[in-house]
Structure 1
Amino acid sequence: MLTRRNWLRQSILTSAGAALLAPNTLQALSGRQINVFNQLGTSANDEAYWELVKEQFTFAPGLTYFNNGSLGACPDHVVQATNTFRQTLDGFPSKYMWGGWDEEKEAVREKVANMFSVSPETIALIHNTTEGMNLIASSMNLAAGDEVLLSSHEHTSARVPWKYWQESKGVVLKDVPLPLLPASKEEIVSLFRQAITPNTKVISIVHVTNTNGMMLPVKEISAMAHEHGVLVAVDGAQSMGMFRINLDDLGCDFFTSSSHKWLFSPKGMGVFYAREESQSLLKPLIVCRGWENKTIRRLENYNTRNLPELLGLGAALDFRSLIGQERIEQRIFELKHYLLGLLEGDERFVVKTPRADDLSGGIQTVEVVGKQVGDVRDALRDDHGIDCRPMSGHGINGVRLSLAIYCTKADVDKLVLALAEG
């Protein structure tokens, strides 16, 4: 006899999954499924609800996963959906690779656009953040002496494209040093304001740093930059899916992210956004038949690509819709506050992430005083089955803890006890 929780799990993976798996529909999960899920409680702090959410992910036995900032997991039904799409493709390869799934691809684009509250005509479906940053950096028509501003916490994959595509032309890449623990958003904005010169053409910044989870005030930086005629490109690898984002309101010109982190999509899928008025500046990284296309689709014209993963992104977005964007955001910040509450006042730990909710979210980096971060990470992994990311740059010496929706308060309790043991 099925328990309520097991029955609900099976129900999600069959009835709801069937809607996702049908190659000609790719429709959202039914209202009945949403109502069933809600029976466990609509409150963001209902642990029984979040235990159920965790059950939709299958991790290796004994693993407690706090490394979503490196790579997220797919819910089980997204795995099943992607595998079914793959079987469908292999059953009639030429049909589905070239034209058979055109409507389904556009459905995924629309789901992404709805998540960001923008037009589908601003969204390209690419492979990852690195591709998006290369697309931006390779497209910019910059000359010797022009400047690109980067924060000191940019990811390598957001920095190297500018070096490769622009530095040899004499374009100057300028770092804007960021404090590890800024006191306010305005402190960060003022640093970029002071760094702008008449030669500045682009500000390329991370939305949420992968180092200590610092959240940069992209909206305020974009507004300030546009006053000076400067374009703004955003690496959103750690923000997309962590909290709600309205890209029109954010105001940046370009935004790119990998969907296999906080959206829990199949690996190798990403999203690229460009304001309609800025799209003419962009040149495709790859061209083939159809290169004359004037829409944003020209940026994703790969001819042959892994369409099951692309459609799997649609399944992941349906899973997100089942839970609700607002609820996901509330939960992530609830876990953040719960973790910080357990650490507060304990002199064995130093939190290396800004505390304010407008300066950090679901990534918190913690130093264990007197211990090297590599040793702490090894002990967590080997002795407790906890996976997280060590961070040693920028004077951090802390483990980066990613608080995703498959983390429960019991998991956080286990983590803090393990950290205390060193």
Structure 2
Amino acid sequence: MYNIKEQFLLNPGITFLNHGSFGACPKPIFESYQQWQRDLEAEPIQFLTKKYYDALAVSKQMLAAYINCDAQDFFFLQNPTTAINQVVKSLGLKQGDEVLTTNHEYGAMDKTFDFYSKKYGFVNRRQNISLPLLSKEQFIEEFWKGYNERTRAIFISHCTSTTALVFPVKEICDRAKELGLIAIVDGAHVPGHVPLNIKELKADFYTGTVHKWLLSPKGCTFLYVDKDYQNSIEPLIISWGYETAMPTKSKFLEENEMQGTRDATSYLTIPAIMKFFDEHNMKERLAACRQTILEQYPVFCELLKTKPLCKLSGEFSGQMCSIPIQTENPFQLKETLYNKYKIEIPVMQRAGETYLRISYQVYNTPEELEYLKETLQQPELGLM
């Protein structure tokens, strides 16, 4: 099989094991992106008023088919943090209300809920999910211990950032529906990484990036909103789509898609992405990556004299794994790994614990993992 790494723009001098943070865009998709940018500059007026919206409709239809939802039920924006800010501002939460979440959420999301909880007076309840995660039943039981009569919404990661765990969000969303709660899901790491079926999941709000595991250029994220909430979600920016004189689509899409002058050409690369996935047998390659993580996770844990954060069944993991480590200076460890050994890998902290997170994407190789093992045994790193 040919070396797919040649299809990416990554620096060949770096062992890149951090796809999870910002992704990496293949050459053909990036070339599509640049062509759209050239089209924009060639005819700015025609592009921004006509061509863009026609191309956007095609992109949305293709992504909708991939994640299984209606193309009229989502819009694009730059990142999940922006999406969740928009959602929280629109919920109408007030003094005495509570949002139930976990202690594994992404830091920017924690900050978002903290900010608005102080502003509006609601409680952001972070329920402890103990590790290792051994069963769905364990997670579900621990999560719902945080529920009470004041709970109005739940917020949960589909796949966590720091601990790299896939949570049983369908079961949580199903229970939330039974309790009459608003279900908000942060799926930043999911599209192109973990199977996603929006219709089956039944979340009220779901945000996922296209620029991580789906390989688009940076700044491409979708926010899905269930039809029951589309008239109540407020646009972050009031622009020409607000009370437009000649509406051509729903108020929900008019207000959130018509935002004036901006370079949104990354949103138009979905056809190039789907072509790349088809031409390079990505389904099989991604399955192989997940299998590699399953096999290598316990090996790295044994090397570093620690234990995996979940049951090794594939139920709670994808193409990432986080290894608990002991280090006196996490920042210095990360800098040394990059500056001396040319390994790009995150060293992350949560609740007093430190983790080394490995992402294994299609361009990575077994040799790179062996190099990482050798490097982690260097005495200067203090990990052995």
TM-score (norm 2): 0.90
Q: Pick from 132, 136, 151: which aligns with 1:181?
A: 132
1:127-166 CA-to-partner distances (Å, cap 9, x unmatched) read 1101110111011022211111121111122223333334
CA distance in 2, matches of 1:253, 1:211: 24
Instruction: Verify the 8 A CA contact 2:190 2:209 in the aligned structure 1.
Output: no
- 1:303 partnered with 2:260: yes
Q: Which residue of 2 aligns with 1:108?
A: 59
Q: Pick from 131, 136, 144: which aligns with 2:82?
A: 131
- 1:80 partnered with 2:31: yes
Q: Which residue of 2 aligns with 1:234?
A: 185
1:271-303 CA-to-partner distances (Å, cap 9, x unmatched) read 111122332331111122222442445323212
| TM-aligned CA deviation for residue 320 of structure 1 | 2.7
Instruction: Verify the 8 A CA contact 1:146 1:201 in the aligned structure 2.
Output: yes
Aligned residue identity for 2:309 = T
Structure 2's unaligned 5+ residue stretches are: 244-249
1:102-137 CA-to-partner distances (Å, cap 9, x unmatched) read 221011111111111111112211111011101110
CA distance in 2, matches of 1:252, 1:152: 20
Calculate the aligned-residue CA RMSD, in Å: 2.1
Structure 1's unaligned 5+ residue stretches are: 1-47
Bigger mean CA offset, 71-80 vs 369-378: 369-378
| TM-aligned CA deviation for residue 353 of structure 1 | 2.9
CA distance in 1, matches of 2:13, 2:30: 20
CA distance in 2, matches of 1:345, 1:267: 36
Bigger mean CA offset, 185-194 vs 196-205: 185-194
Q: Pick from 207, 212, 228: which aligns with 1:277?
A: 228
Instruction: Verify the 8 A CA contact 1:112 1:123 in the aligned structure 2.
Output: no
Q: Pick from 302, 308, 321: which aligns with 1:364?
A: 321
1:227-376 alignment, distance < 5 Å = 227-292=178-243, 293-324=250-281, 326-340=283-297, 342-343=299-300, 345-346=302-303, 348-354=304-310, 355-368=312-325, 372-376=329-333
| TM-aligned CA deviation for residue 345 of structure 1 | 4.2
Count of residue pairs the alignment pairs up: 372
The alpha-carbon distance between structure 1 residues 412 and 96, as it changes in their structure 2 partners (threshold 3 A), is: same
| TM-aligned CA deviation for residue 238 of structure 1 | 1.6
CA distance in 2, matches of 1:143, 1:71: 34
For the residue of structure 2 that corresponds to 1:280, the secondary structure is: coil
1:357-396 alignment, distance < 5 Å = 357-368=314-325, 372-396=329-353
| TM-aligned CA deviation for residue 375 of structure 1 | 4.3
| TM-aligned CA deviation for residue 192 of structure 1 | 2.3
CA distance in 2, matches of 1:180, 1:319: 37
Aligned residue identity for 1:214 = L
| TM-aligned CA deviation for residue 350 of structure 1 | 2.1
The alpha-carbon distance between structure 1 residues 137 and 102, as it changes in their structure 2 partners (threshold 3 A), is: same
| TM-aligned CA deviation for residue 412 of structure 1 | 1.7
CA distance in 2, matches of 1:342, 1:253: 39
Q: Which residue of 1 aligns with 2:73?
A: 122
- 1:420 partnered with 2:377: yes
For the residue of structure 2 that corresponds to 1:392, the secondary structure is: strand
Q: Which residue of 2 aligns with 1:45?
A: none
Instruction: Verify the 8 A CA contact 1:143 1:171 in the aligned structure 2.
Output: yes
Q: Pick from 354, 357, 361: which aligns with 1:404?
A: 361
| TM-aligned CA deviation for residue 54 of structure 1 | 1.6
| TM-aligned CA deviation for residue 94 of structure 1 | 0.8
The alpha-carbon distance between structure 1 residues 290 and 371, as it changes in their structure 2 partners (threshold 3 A), is: closer
Aligned residue identity for 1:207 = H
CA distance in 2, matches of 1:122, 1:66: 34
**Percent of residue pairs bearing the same amino acid type:** 26
CA distance in 2, matches of 1:375, 1:367: 17
